[in-house]
Amino acid sequence: MGLATAYYLIKQGYQPDIYEADDRVGGMAAAFDFHGLHIERFYHFHCTSDDAYFDILKDLNLIGKFHWIKTKMGFYFNQSLQDWGNPLALLKFKGLSLIDKVRYGLHAFYSVKKNNYKQLDRISAISWIKKWLGESAYKKLWEKLLTYKFYDLSDQISAAWIWARIRRIGRSRYNLMQEKLGYLEGGSKTLLDAMQAYIEENGGHIILKTPIQRVNIEAHKVTGIRVNGKDKAYDEIISTIPIPYIPKIISDLPKINIDKFNAIKNIAVVCVIVKLKQPVSKYFWVNVNDRDMDIPGFVEYSNLMPLENSIVYIPFYMPQNLKKFKDSDNVFINKVKKYLLKINPELNTADFLDIHVSRYLYSQPVCSTHFLSELPSIDCGIHGLKVADTSYYYPEDRGISESFKFAKNVLSNFKF
């Protein structure tokens, strides 16, 4: 989001300074060297609705490196890995009654066709899903997904947030039976490298490993920042750091804004990435409902982007204060090995070539009911300051295209 903002500022003729706490640009889209394979620390995919993303690819002459793929979705339920994600798979699914299947299909159809989400902002996701599917189908298809994403916060999630996720995937299809997702050659690193080069070649400055300690404000006006213990003057500042950091770093905001920022909850993620000799499944995304597995699902990224080995992402989402967030990497690695061997009994321990664990403290805003009214104003009542993070994509989920779209819209509405 910060890189996208800088990119559009360059387009408007400015030469921004970008301060990045990490040792690389890109945030959750950044890549790492997985022993010879440069791949994202956290998985990404692209849908047909990602117009802002495609516009950037065209601007940077990268559109020729983008490819669409026919992907499949699965569901691990009742000790069985089954097809999911299309009408035929729904009809064949073992574990649901005919009534459950009809109700689920009607809900999916309604969600894909619906355009206005304002009413859903006021309704909890759980009550909305139960109303359409009933208690039994909710427990089988949705309860574990929400529980192992938000834990005790799951009953607060807005129906609008769930609806946006269903609609985005549901509309990204070749036809009713076939899902259509896309990838960029080299992954997000290809895009991030091109954006960084463009920004720096056109007068922007990217300062890595330099977290901002404080935003200085005097008389309701930005005066600059503090980095490395020293103050530096700026007239205009755009913050795209996660909202939970704002009350500490921009502590001189009006109390009403501080209170609103403090009220926005966020969850962490421990993402285990596995490199295997053979595939776990034929699916890109697999939902999981198993009493012995504390995950909502996993992503087999190599079933989207062709790679030499199978690459699987297994995210463990949870609130930061949950005890297991402090567990060692080995605890999560051992869980993942156990889970994948159970899901695919044809695998053996020799198939595990490499494993990497990435953690992100504030990975996902908790978009509760009435979230629209809870978001503070982007300008916060401070001249020269704009504050936003992925919470402001609501009801859309965090994503690369949403970052571009939001950054462009913010800069078109605010003039320096």
User: Domain for residue 223, yes or no?
Assistant: yes
Mean pLDDT, all residues of the chain: 96
User: Domain for residue 229, yes or no?
Assistant: yes
pLDDT above 70 as % of the chain = 99
Q: Check whether residue 198 and residue 318 sit in a common domain.
A: no
User: Domain for residue 80, yes or no?
Assistant: no
User: Domain for residue 84, yes or no?
Assistant: no
Among the three residues 180, 215, 246, which one is the final residue of a domain in this structure? 180
**What is the pLDDT confidence band of residue 414, given thresholds at 50, 70 and 90?**
low
Q: Check whether residue 269 and residue 257 sit in a common domain.
A: no
Q: Check whether residue 94 and residue 143 sit in a common domain.
A: yes
Q: Check whether residue 57 and residue 20 sit in a common domain.
A: yes
Among the three residues 133, 150, 180, which one is the final residue of a domain in this structure? 180
User: Domain for residue 338, yes or no?
Assistant: yes
Q: Check whether residue 277 and residue 350 sit in a common domain.
A: yes
**What is the pLDDT confidence band of residue 406, given thresholds at 50, 70 and 90?**
very high
Determine the residue type at 67: H
Q: Residue 386 pLDDT > 90, yes or no?
A: yes
Residue 403 confidence (pLDDT): 94
Q: What is the pLDDT of residues 112-155, one digit of tens each?
A: 999 999 999 999 999 999 999 999 999 999 999 999 999 999 99
Q: Which residue has the higher pLDDT, 409 or 339?
A: 339
Q: Check whether residue 48 and residue 138 sit in a common domain.
A: no
Assign residue 340 the CATH number of its domain: 3.90.660.20
Q: What is the pLDDT of residues 88-117, one digit of tens each?
A: 999 999 999 999 999 999 999 999 999 999
Q: Check whether residue 237 and residue 325 sit in a common domain.
A: no
User: Domain for residue 357, yes or no?
Assistant: yes
Q: Check whether residue 384 and residue 349 sit in a common domain.
A: no
**What is the pLDDT confidence band of residue 416, given thresholds at 50, 70 and 90?**
low
Q: Check whether residue 271 and residue 236 sit in a common domain.
A: no
Q: What is the pLDDT of residues 6-59, one digit of tens each?
A: 999 999 999 999 999 999 999 999 999 999 999 999 999 999 999 999 999 999
Task: Give the structural domain span for 205.
Answer: 2-67+184-263+372-413
Q: What is the pLDDT of residues 255-282, one digit of tens each?
A: 999 999 999 999 999 999 999 999 999 9
Residue 125 confidence (pLDDT): 98
Q: Residue 415 pLDDT > 70, yes or no?
A: no
Residue 225 confidence (pLDDT): 98
User: Domain for residue 78, yes or no?
Assistant: no
Residue 50 confidence (pLDDT): 96
Residue 168 token pair: 């985005």
Residue 412 confidence (pLDDT): 81
CA distance 188 to 77: 32
Q: Check whether residue 361 and residue 282 sit in a common domain.
A: yes
Q: What is the pLDDT of residues 196-232, one digit of tens each?
A: 999 999 999 999 999 999 999 999 999 999 999 999 9
Q: Check whether residue 146 and residue 101 sit in a common domain.
A: yes
72 within 8 A of 58, measured Cβ to Cβ: no
Among the three residues 180, 213, 239, which one is the final residue of a domain in this structure? 180
Sign of the C-alpha dihedral computed for residues 325, 331, 334 and 335 taken in this order: negative
Residue 353 confidence (pLDDT): 97
User: Domain for residue 205, yes or no?
Assistant: yes
Q: Check whether residue 270 and residue 356 sit in a common domain.
A: yes
The total domain count for the chain is 3
Q: What is the pLDDT of residues 287-325, one digit of tens each?
A: 999 999 999 999 999 999 999 999 999 999 999 999 999
